[in-house]
Amino acid sequence: KAGVTQTPRYLIKTRGQQVTLSCSPISGHRSVSWYQQTPGQGLQFLFEYFSETQRNKGNFPGRFSGRQFSNSRSEMNVSTLELGDSALYLCASSLQGANNEQFFGPGTRLTVL
């Protein structure tokens, strides 16, 4: 079974631009979560989507948004990029239901100049 895939793997943007990251979950997984990893803040939860609906949201500004499609693929968007948005963005998928392990993709390394 193929793992979680994320595209692109690396991205360089400048301040003020916007960016869209993509995530394809493991086949059959309906929950997709996004995390941001930075040296200062560690791994932080952004949001979770399940059946095309946002089910949970972390403590991030409205510039961070996402969506999920009917095939469970998900995208996250960051508008008006700031230098502090430079991070590794990780996507994780899991089966529906309680206490399921989340399986992570390799991440997208975003650098904002």
Partner 1 sequence: DQQVKQNSPSLSVQEGRISILNCDYTNSMFDYFLWYKKYPAEGPTFLISISSIKDKNEDGRFTVFLNKSAKHLSLHIVPSQPGDSAVYFCAASANAGNMLTFGGGTRLMVKP
Q: In the set 26, 76, 87, 90, which binds partner 1 (CB under 8 A)?
A: 90
What are the structure tokens assigned to 48, written together? 């979770």
Q: For tokens 């008006």, name the residue.
A: 80
Total residues contacting partner 1 by CB under 8 A comes to 28
Residue 29 or residue 81: which is nearer to partner 1 going by CB? 29
Contact 41, 60 (CB under 8 A): no
Site for partner 1 in 26-85 (CB under 8 A): 31, 33, 35, 42-45, 48, 50, 55-56, 58
Q: In the set 1, 2, 53, 99, which binds partner 1 (CB under 8 A)?
A: 99
Residue 20 or residue 44: which is nearer to partner 1 going by CB? 44
Where along the sequence are the contacts to partner 1 (CB under 8 A)? 4, 31, 33, 35, 42-45, 48, 50, 55-56, 58, 90, 92, 94, 97-107, 109
